[in-house]
């Protein structure tokens, strides 16, 4: 029972348990916390695989940005973010596909376990997975994709702002034509202004009064 095996077992359990909680929870907040558990477990597995830089990036980007974004949206939507449990069922088609996937995993698992040859990891090199090594690879062989990734992130941020922004023509209210109503836009409800509750707004009452004066 080496420490590496203990780390692998603990992180695997974290990953699988978190994934099941993410998929099975009715409340999306619990789903986001399950996703966080999975992400932390995968970061631990990255450490076991000597990928220190990627473990750091995993915690920074996923746990620090993605899960927080999910939690923000769930809290913004409020109680409507979770559907009731009995809000209809999936079609037979989707269930068949998902069941076929599960069966495929069982077949793959059997094939892997029955194969006698297993590929052991070699002795790790001195700088495998460090920031220096990954950075050298990125900036020597993948410089153009790296710059394209920066462009992608900027475009995605702008797109997210453009998509999520509320429609301005619906939210901005046109000012009233009446100068008195433009000046005194205090209590618009009749109840707040001390008037009897006749169900009319201030503008309707104003128009009604002018009609009465005209007649």
Partner 1 sequence: MDTTVESYMLLATAIFVIGSIGFLVRRNVLVQLMSIELMLNSVNLLLVGFNRLHTGNMAGQTFAFFIIAVAAAEVAVGLAIVLQFYRLRGGVNSDEATTLRH
169 lines the binding site for partner 1 (CB under 8 A): no
The binder of partner 1 chosen from 79, 92, 144, 164 (CB under 8 A) = 164
Q: List the Cα angle 36/42/44 in 5-degree steps.
A: 105
Greatest extent of the chain over all pairs of C-alpha atoms, in Å: 101
Tokens read off for 132: 């220096």
Task: Please list every residue from 112 through 131 that binds partner 1, using CB under 8 A.
Answer: 112, 115, 118-125, 127-129
10 lines the binding site for partner 1 (CB under 8 A): no
Asked whether the beta carbons of 25 and 69 are under 8 A apart, the reply is: no
Distance, in Å, from the CA atom of 211 to the CA atom of 163, rounded to the nearest integer, reads 45
Question: Within 10 A of 202 (CB to CB), how many other CB atoms are there?
Answer: 20
CB of 103 to partner 1, least distance (A): 10
88 lines the binding site for partner 1 (CB under 8 A): yes
**Which CB atom, from 54 or from 181, has the smaller least distance to partner 1?**
54
Asked whether the beta carbons of 87 and 52 are under 8 A apart, the reply is: no
Distance, in Å, from the CA atom of 92 to the CA atom of 28, rounded to the nearest integer, reads 25
35 lines the binding site for partner 1 (CB under 8 A): yes
The binder of partner 1 chosen from 156, 188, 189, 193 (CB under 8 A) = 156
The binder of partner 1 chosen from 75, 77, 189, 193 (CB under 8 A) = 77
The binder of partner 1 chosen from 86, 114, 116, 166 (CB under 8 A) = 166
The binder of partner 1 chosen from 75, 160, 189, 193 (CB under 8 A) = 160
Asked whether the beta carbons of 34 and 20 are under 8 A apart, the reply is: yes
**Which CB atom, from 98 or from 209, has the smaller least distance to partner 1?**
98
The binder of partner 1 chosen from 75, 141, 195, 204 (CB under 8 A) = 141
Asked whether the beta carbons of 35 and 73 are under 8 A apart, the reply is: no
94 lines the binding site for partner 1 (CB under 8 A): yes
49 lines the binding site for partner 1 (CB under 8 A): yes
7 lines the binding site for partner 1 (CB under 8 A): yes
Asked whether the beta carbons of 36 and 18 are under 8 A apart, the reply is: yes
Asked whether the beta carbons of 11 and 48 are under 8 A apart, the reply is: yes
């Amino acid at each position: 029972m080496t420490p590496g095996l203990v780390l692998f077992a603990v992180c695997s359990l974290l990953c699988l348990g978190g994934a099941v909680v993410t998929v099975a929870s009715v409340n999306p907040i619990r789903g986001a916390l399950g996703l966080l558990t999975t992400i932390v477990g995968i970061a631990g597995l990255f450490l076991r695989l000597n990928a220190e830089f990627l473990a750091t990036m995993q915690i920074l980007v996923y746990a620090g940005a993605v899960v927080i974004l999910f939690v923000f949206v769930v809290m913004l939507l409020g109680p409507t973010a979770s559907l009731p449990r009995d809000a209809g069922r999936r079609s037979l088609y989707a269930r068949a596909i998902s069941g076929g996937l599960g069966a495929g995993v069982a077949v793959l698992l059997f094939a892997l376990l029955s194969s006698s040859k297993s590929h052991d990891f070699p002795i790790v090199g001195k700088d495998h997975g460090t920031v220096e090594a990954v950075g050298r690879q990125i900036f020597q062989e993948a410089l153009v994709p790296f710059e394209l990734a920066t462009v992608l992130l900027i475009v995605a941020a702008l797109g997210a702002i453009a998509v999520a922004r509320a429609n301005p023509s619906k939210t901005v209210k046109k000012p009233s034509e009446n100068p008195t109503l433009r000046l005194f836009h205090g209590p618009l409800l009749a109840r707040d202004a001390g008037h009897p509750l006749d169900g009319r707004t201030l503008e309707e009452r104003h128009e009604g009064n002018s009609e009465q004066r005209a007649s």
